[in-house]
A and B are shown apart, each in its own frame.
Chain A
Amino acid sequence: MSIILNETTRIIVQGITGTQGQFHTGQMIAYGSKIVGGVSPSKGGQEVHGVPVYDTVEEALLKQQVDASVIFVPAKLVKDCALEALEAGIKTLVIVTEHVPLHDTLEIMAYAEKQKAEIVGPNTYGLISPGQCKIGIMPNNIFMPGEVGVVARSGTLSYEIVYQLTGAGVGQSSVVGLGGDRVVGMSFIQVLEKFEADPKTKAVVLVGEIGGNAEEKAADYIKSMTKPVVAFLAGKSAPPGKRMGHAGAIIERGKGTFKSKVEALTAAGVSVANLPWEVGPLVKQALAQGSEKVYG
């Protein structure tokens, strides 16, 4: 088991003929993902890595059964592509593109809610269920199948944490990148709920950063979880008022500080790692204590 996607998930790639689209379609296929089609206006009839290209999402849906779509188009085209997928009835949409205008994201999210669809991103590396399937741009070789769910705001920092976990012999059930923007689709809470419900997942690692209040809200939900949660947060040394790379990573008017997040998570019973390499040992410890609780 895993969350959101598994080896049967049927995926289309919007923007499949672009440089990134082509490259990552190849990488996803190499990982075992079922890429059943691509969409690229006026490129219909071509093939990319043996995958048929369609002119529109609706055409792709006429020819294929599709569970999810991943978007690789430039920022100014994302709104059009996302709305196209949502209107066509796609229920899981991953937006990898960064620099999407805020108002475009707001319109996409409002329409997704109406269509009862789930969006991961924008500005995400995507999501992966190790050993089964991936949607996105993460490196294929750092993941290991296992029982720990990982949910993160940042891309390379989740690679770092997963690298530490795999190095410590701790495998992952699914790893989800929420995206670094100020407004993103899926939230920590929505992913935590899925991990809580997934019988394969025994513990969860939350990778957060300064800015906004997503970690504080997650802490509220974690209080009701039965599975142990370990967290790692970035931005302890960041000065207030400066945007640290991600649009969302900024301490504004004294809100979104490192301290506030650590306090909220600690109060919810989360073990917060001080250093990236403490995450693996803390997860092992939590898993050992968890099994004592259940069986002891």
Chain B
Amino acid sequence: MKLYEFMAKEIFKRNGIPVPMGAVFTGVDGVAAFLEKTGSVAIKSQVLSGGRGKAGGIKFATEPQDAISKVQELLASEIKGCQVETVLIEEKVTIERELYLAITVDGSKRQIVLLASVAGGMDIEQVPEEQVIKRFIDITIGLQPYATREITRQMGLKGREAKQTEEVMLKLYQVFRKYDAELVEINPLVVTPSQVLAADGKMTVDDEAAYRFLPEVPYVEEKTAVEKKADELGISYVELDGEVGVMANGAGITMATLDLLQHFGSSARNFMDAGGGSSEKATAAALEILLSTNPKALLINIFGGITRCDDVARAFVQVKNALDLKLPVVIRLVGTNEDLGTAILREQGIESFKSVEEAVTKVISLLNGGGADVHNS
């Protein structure tokens, strides 16, 4: 789950990482009063996509009236398709230099990695590799002060700015561990005449650890209504914009099914991994979700391991009878109890396939009007 900048900064502040004085607004109430305290400010749209500055999502103001009109303007705008609902107004800070700091996980090394650079304030992907310091952290000892001294030495930082940057690194590592983060990023980490502070903040926390999140971690809705409903059923679902509704079991085989549709000239309406061990009831609920997105056809591709083909077949028959399905449906059933599943479908006049190739080409020919509806055949 990605947190908004203001949420990440709230957590940074709570854990001793300096951030600019700021306040969150969803309207213009209190904006003028805030500017009386701060003088010049930055007004920052709170959206989850990157590249917000370039997209016009950050504005500056000195006069209260100007600030109010800019807040109104931002709250009426969209950044990369996302409606701006909140702005963060922060005091303008005096920038001596901009640094980059992030902590994340390197999957291939199976380790935590700290990234640091003196080329802050720009897209880190654009910074030449030799300007980014990578330091792997052994989770059994954590990030120790000596390691941060070596990092600032490599960055060429001296005196006060080195010391304050080291402190931020140590605290950022604590935040990373304490909040089960996948990513914490400060870009830029700004050196001012008196301190270093997080002028921006990004934080992604691990959904699998949601059960132990500290109470100060807010909930951010990233999913569409349909995705959320699927989530509650324990189904992994991603909305796409193609024509065939797909249900399969297992992420890999679902992805491969989507690829096959594309290969044969069609496209998927969704990614739906109904998971292993889905019961009849859960399968019926999953099918109902699929139908709610109005696909032009359905393709069910089940390779039964834990999932039993007869459960899927019974669930399909149940949904079909309850909803009076009109759209073409193709079912492929292989694996645990496939004979039982095939027999249940056949009783209802529904043909199923063993070959994934035949199933995919069949659904496409049905879409193109090249054959009768499967369950009337």
Contacts from A to B (Cβ < 8 Å)? 75-76, 99-107, 109-111, 114, 125, 137-139, 142, 152-160, 163, 180, 182-183, 185, 187, 207, 209-210, 212-214, 217, 232, 234-239, 242-249, 253-254, 274-277
Flag if B259 contacts A155 (CB, 8 Å): no
Interface residues of B (CB under 8 A from A): 105, 107-108, 110-112, 125, 138-140, 177, 180, 182, 206, 208-209, 211-212, 236, 238, 240, 248-256, 258-263, 267-268, 271, 273, 276, 303-306, 334-336, 355-357
- State in angstroms the CA–CA spacing of A158 and B305 once bound together: 11
Q: Who on chain B is nearest to A107 by CB?
A: B139
Known interface pairs A103-B177, A234-B252, A237-B258; A244-B140 also in contact (CB < 8 Å): no
CA A186 to CA B249, docked complex, whole Å: 24
Contact of B249 among A104, A156, A207, A254 (CB under 8 A): A156
Say yes or no: B138 contacts A180, CB within 8 Å.
no
Q: Which of A106, A110, A249 contacts B251 (CB 8 A)?
A: A249
Docked-complex contact B208 and A152, CB < 8 angstroms:
no
In the bound complex, do residue B336 and residue A158 qualify as a contact, i.e. CB atoms below 8 Å apart? no
Please pick, from A156, A238, A275, the residue contacting B248 in the complex, using a CB distance under 8 A.
Answer: A156
Least CB distance, B341 to chain A, in whole angstroms: 14
Contacts of A76 in B (CB 8 A): 211-212
Between A and B, 17 residue pairs with Cβ closer than 8 Å are A76-B212, A103-B177, A106-B139, A110-B138, A137-B276, A137-B306, A154-B253, A160-B252, A160-B303, A209-B251, A209-B255, A213-B108, A236-B259, A242-B271, A245-B254, A249-B251, A276-B256
- Cβ 8 A contact of A245, one of B125, B208, B236, B268: B236
Contacts of B254 in A (CB 8 A): 244-245
Docked complex Cα distance between A20 and B220 (Å): 33
Q: Which 8 A-B pairs have the closest CB atoms?
A: A154-B252, A245-B251, A156-B250, A157-B252, A101-B209, A234-B255, A156-B253, A237-B262
Complex contacts, A232 vs chain B, CB 8 Å: 256
Chain B's interface: helix, strand, loop or mixed, by majority?
A: mixed
- Which residue of chain B lies nearest to A157 when distances are taken between CB atoms in the complex? B252
Report B-chain residues with C-beta under 8 Å of the C-beta of A187.
Answer: 108
Chain A residues lying within 8 Å of B334, measured Cβ to Cβ, are: 163
Per DSSP, chain A at the interface is loop
Contact A183 B238 (CB under 8 A): no
Q: Is B259 touching A237 in the complex (CB atoms < 8 A)? A: yes
Determine the residue in chain B with the shortest Cβ distance to A254.
B125
A139 to B254, CA, bound (A): 18
Q: A99-B208, A103-B206, A107-B139 are in contact. List 9 more A-B contacts (CB 8 A).
A: A102-B209, A137-B306, A154-B255, A156-B248, A157-B253, A159-B303, A212-B107, A217-B108, A276-B260
